[in-house]
Amino acid sequence: MDKSEIDQKSKIKPIAMYDEISSSYLSYAMSVIVSRALPDIRDGLKPVHRRIIYAMYKGGFDWSKQFRKSARIVGDVIGKYHPHGDQAVYDALVRMVQDFSMSVPLIDGQGNFGSVDGDPPAAMRYTETRLSKISQFLIDDIEKNTVDFKSNYDETEKEPVVLPAQYPNLLVNGAGGIAVGMATSIPPHNLGEVINATQALINNKDIKINELMKHIPGPDFPTGGTIIGKDIIKSGYKTGRGSFKIRGDVKIEQLKNGKERLVITNIPYQINKSVLNEKIVELIRDKKIEGISDIRDESNREGIRVAIDLKRNTEPETVKRQLYKYTSLESSFSFNTLAIVDKKPKNCNLKDFLESFLKFREDVVTKKTKFDLKKAEDRAHILIGLSVAVENIDKIIKIIRNSKNPEIAKETLVKTKWKIKSTQKFIKLIEKKILSQHILFQLIK
C-alpha cells in the first residue's frame, strides 16, 4: 500500500447509519417543502408555476400575441429552469388554463385542456397557450430590479426567486400541495373581494379579521356551490385550520305533465361530475334512492346541467336530501393555510396573508421607484450635456477639427469650461423633475 492510499484511508470517517439517514431525509424534506410543494405567500406560486410564467414571459408569449404550442413552452421550462419530467410540467401548465380549477386562470389555452368530467387534456403537441392578461400583473416590472434572481440548476440562466405580483394571488387562486410531514389546502377567493380587503388593511393597519370578513365573507369556488357553516369559515380565517361543507346547487323544475325535475346547476370544487353521475345511477340501481325515473347530463359550454326526472308523487326535497347524503354533491373542504413565509413554512390567518403581501408589495414599489429615479437622473444628465453642446456648437466643432485624433478631442472637450446661460432654465426644469421623483420616492417609502 503506497503513501497516497494510506493518506486517503486516514481521511475516511465512520458515520452512524441513523445519523446519515436522518440528515439526508431532512434535506430531502426541506427541499420538497420549500422548492416544490408549498406556495410562496408573496406571489402565491409554487416553483413550477413561477418558472412556467417566467419562461413564457421571456419567450414573448404575451396575452396580446398569438398562441404558441404548449410543447415549445414545456421544452423551455425543463431546458432552462425546471429539472423534472415534461409531463409534470405540462400537468402544471394545464391546471393554470382550467377555469374550473382556478378562480382566475393565469394562462389562456386553445385546444382540449380536460374537463370537469375528468377527461384528460390533449397531448402538448396539439394544445396552444399564451399568458392570460392578468398574468401581466404578476410579471410586470420584473426588469426593474424589483425582485432577486438566482442561478438555475446548471448555472447557465437566471430565474426570479419570486415574481413582483401586484395582487394577492395566493388568496385569489388558492393552492393545494402535499409535502413531507405537512400539507396545504387554501381555497380560492373572489378577486374583487380580495382587493377590497387589501385596501381596507392599507387604510387601517389595526383592522380585525372580523372586519376583513365583511369584504371577504368566504371562499369563492370556480365551480360554484353553497358553503355550509359560516362559523367554521370564521375559525378557518382566524386559525388557518378548519373544514367546511360545500353543496352543489339543485333547483326544482315543474314539468308540463305534472311531474317534477331536479336540476344540478353546479357541483362542489374538485369533484368529478362524471363520477358523481355514475354514483347517482348506482344508488338508483341499488334502490338506496327511489323516485327517480331518468337522469341525463345536459351540460354544455354555458355551464353544468344534470337533469334528474322524478316519478309522479315523489317529494323532490326528500330526493335532494338523499343526494346530499349519499353522493359527493355535498363534500368537505379542509382549510390548512400553510405557505412559505421568509423561507419557512407557516400557518397563516387571513390578515397574515394580506400583511405579508403588502410588506412585499411595498418593497417592490420602493425598488421600482429607485430604478426609475436612477434612469431619470441618467437621462437628465445626457439632456443637459446635449443642451450645452447645442449652445456651444461652433466652439465644439472647432475643437474637434483642430484635434489630431478623437481621444485628444474628447479630452479637450471635457477640460473646457462651457457657457450655459440659455441652458440654465432647461437645467432648472430637469432638476425640478428629478426633485419631484425624489419626493414621490420618499412618500412611497
For the annotated catalytic residues, the residue numbers are: 126
Q: How many alpha carbons lie under 13 Å from residue 152 in its C-beta half-sphere? A: 19
CB-CB contact of 309 with 261 (8 Å):
yes
Going by C-beta distance under 8 Å and a sequence separation of 6 or more, which residues neighbour residue 203? none
For residue 311, what is the DSSP state? P
- Residues 12 and 17: their CA atoms lie apart, in Å, by 15
| Angstrom distances, CA of residue 7 to CA of 1, 11, 13, 14, 15 | 10, 7, 12, 15, 19
Q: Is the dihedral of CA 95, 100, 103, 106 positive or negative?
A: positive
Residue 430 is which amino acid?
Answer: I
Cα distance from N-terminal residue to C-terminal residue, the chain: 68
Residue 141 is which amino acid?
Answer: D
Residue 175 is which amino acid?
Answer: A
Residue 321 is which amino acid?
Answer: R
Give the three-class secondary structure for 12.
coil
For residue 134, what is the DSSP state? G
**Helix (H), strand (E) at residue 432:** helix 424-444
- Taking residue 105's Cβ as centre, other Cβ atoms within 10 Å add up to 20
